[in-house]
Amino acid sequence: MRQIETYKLVAHPDNPRKSVGDVHELADSIKERGILQNLTVVPTETVDVYRVIIGHRRLAAATLAGLKTVPCVVVEMDEATQYSTMLLENMQRIDLSAYEQAQGFQQCLDFGMSMDEISTKTGLSKTTIRQRTKMLELDQDKVKNAVNATITDYINLERIKDLKERNRLLGFIGDDNFNQKVEKSYQEQLQNEYRNKVIEKLHELGIEEGEQNWDDVTVLRLLVHDEDDFNDIIKRINDLDDIGERDYYYVKTSWSFTLEAPRIEEKTKKSAEQLEHEKEQKERKERKSKIKQRLKFYYQLRLEFVKELLSKQISEEHLKISRIHLIKNVLIDDLSVSLVHKDMEKLKNELGFDKDIFDAEFKINSIELLDSNILNKLMIATQYLSLENEDRTTFDYQGDFSSNWGTEDLEILYDYLQDLGYALTEEERQLLDGSHELYKSTV
């Protein structure tokens, strides 16, 4: 250890910490008590000039306090050790931003350190390190501008495989509907993945893409939105017993694709009335299926919105809104809500509440709601669950719009969620008021 003049000390250019921040308070302390912990420095190629490894804030504060020399320990370190030491020191003493951590981890990797070595030195898992470094694949200008972004936002964004789409969504970080936008993109990604899997299956069977021939017939409409659709389509393809004998081909459109084949003349002709009826029934069935898929999609978006809301501190305004809707829509004398078994499962599995809360029968009293953030969240969550229903439909058995099949209940739910900040899309409005094109028969 030795005293070294402050003008002989220089900051390390690759310090993960990009700013020392406000050091006035530390400078006042140094004036009163001196420097209580030495700096760690390494020699440079310039004689009597040293590079600071540990103690950048202390050096800045000492200079501000007017000290001419500071106590230092001079050590020998290679570049990789210098960088890992600075990274570990900063992570232990301050909250580096996720982006600064990402840069630090990448620098360590560039110096030849392995994931295991970085994990051992920092105490963080390899998964965390990998998640941080994935941030560096993104548009760095957008990352730097996303000042309100959390590491949870970036982990959520990792579900999107296409880098261009991830960068597009990155521009929405900080918006109230960011998670909904990511979820929508993720669902579209899943649909494309399942669609490509169906095409791979067709190629395995020797069925290739072709052009639409209106003289041919549509054997299967290959509309796939989720795993259930995918499994059903694969089963239906496997059930075809004349593959190899009949010239099947598939046709892609902008939003779907179909399996086509040359027409086979029927031995007995059906009447025009029978054919028209079959065509109408088929069209109604397809429309009902599409409407169900859209309703299911928006159910998931509503759920993601509530999960995002419950991840934050509950505001008095949100509590006031929830109480108003509770009085307005639920006839409960003492403003208490009893959680049935099904709702408890949703609270635990879908909305993320700790299962230990529900070891005994649980009832929420209106007075208790004002005393605990967890009870505030439970009030909003149970109010949401009392209005939500995944199986609610807006059409009748024929696939026509009807306000008697859950539409009114959906309007009450959307009224509540919009007061909490949910943004209703144009398509959701159309599904609620009956103007959506899927309600209109083309037969």
Going residue by residue through the chain, which has 443 residues, state the pLDDT in tens, using 9 for 90 and above.
899 999 999 988 887 776 777 889 889 989 988 898 899 999 998 888 999 998 888 999 999 999 999 999 999 988 878 877 887 776 655 556 677 777 778 878 887 788 888 788 777 788 888 877 887 778 877 777 776 777 778 778 888 888 889 888 888 887 778 888 998 898 888 888 888 888 899 898 889 988 878 888 888 888 787 788 888 888 989 888 888 888 899 988 766 788 888 887 654 556 777 788 888 888 888 888 888 898 999 988 998 888 888 888 777 788 777 767 665 554 333 334 444 445 556 666 667 666 555 544 444 444 444 446 666 777 788 778 888 888 778 888 777 888 776 788 888 888 888 988 899 999 999 988 888 888 876 55
CATH class given for the domain over 2-76: alpha beta
Helix residue ranges per DSSP H, 68-177: 79-93, 98-110, 115-122, 126-134, 140-145, 151-157, 163-170
Taking the domains of the chain in order of start, what are their residue ranges? 2-76, 188-265, 286-439
Residue 7 DSSP one-character state: G
Enter the pTM of the model.
Answer: 0.40
Write down the pLDDT at residue 147: 67
| CB contact set of 94 (below 8 Å; sequence gap of 6+) | 17
Beta strand extents in 284-350 (DSSP E only):
337-338
Count Cβ neighbours within 10 Å for each residue of 400-410 and write b for 16 or more, e otherwise: bbbeebbbeeb
CB 222 within 8 A of CB 231: no
Q: What is the pLDDT of residue 215?
A: 80
Residues 6+ apart with CB under 8 A from 73: 1, 38, 39, 40, 41
Q: In angstroms, rounded to a whole number, what is the distance separating the alpha carbons of residues 438 and 400?
A: 9
